[in-house]
Amino acid sequence: MSDLEIWITILALACATGLTRSSFWLIGHHITIPPRVQQMLRYAPACALAAIIAPDLLLDERNAMAISLLNPKMMAAVVATAYYLLRRSMIETIILGMAVFTGLRIWLQ
């Protein structure tokens, strides 16, 4: 991306923040969101986040499927998920995940 394209992207992202966080603030009065819509609003973000990281965790450099015990990113993610479920600490989870990722990567070289 060119410098200009990146800046347009940044402005688009700023709009995405404003449109969502300020949405009901600007409407003002109390509105009850229908349960169906509330479900969509709740489930969509998790799906988007999963769709962003899944290829990073499960594909190799040539974009081929790499579901294997020797895939450093996948193994780091498995360990990190388990640890986060137990301890609920983001910082510790990231440090542990990076340690597994780096260790496995160096060991495999």
Partner 1 sequence: MTGPVPSKVEAPSRPADEDDALWREGFKAGVPSLFGIAAWGLVVGVAMIKSGLTLTQALGMTLLVFGGSAQLASLPLIVANAPIWVIFATALTVNLRFVIFSALLAPHFAHLPWPKRLLLGYTSGDMTVALFLQRFPDEAPALGKVSYLKGLLYPNWTAWQVGSIAGIFLGSAVPEQWGLGFAGSLAILCILVPMVLGSAALSGVLVASATAVLAYNFPFKLGLLAAVVLGMLTSMLVQGAIDKRKSHVRS
Beta carbon of residue 53, minimum distance to partner 1 (angstroms, whole number): 5
Residue 5 lies near partner 1 (rule: CB under 8 A): yes
3-state helix, strand, coil in the chain (%, to 5): 75, 0, 20
Among 34, 55, 61, 62, indicate the residue that binds partner 1 (CB under 8 A): 55
- Within 8 A by CB and 6+ apart from 80, the residues are 93, 94, 96, 97, 100
| 18/72 Cα distance (integer angstroms) | 37
Beta carbon of residue 46, minimum distance to partner 1 (angstroms, whole number): 4
Residue 69 lies near partner 1 (rule: CB under 8 A): no
Beta carbon of residue 70, minimum distance to partner 1 (angstroms, whole number): 16
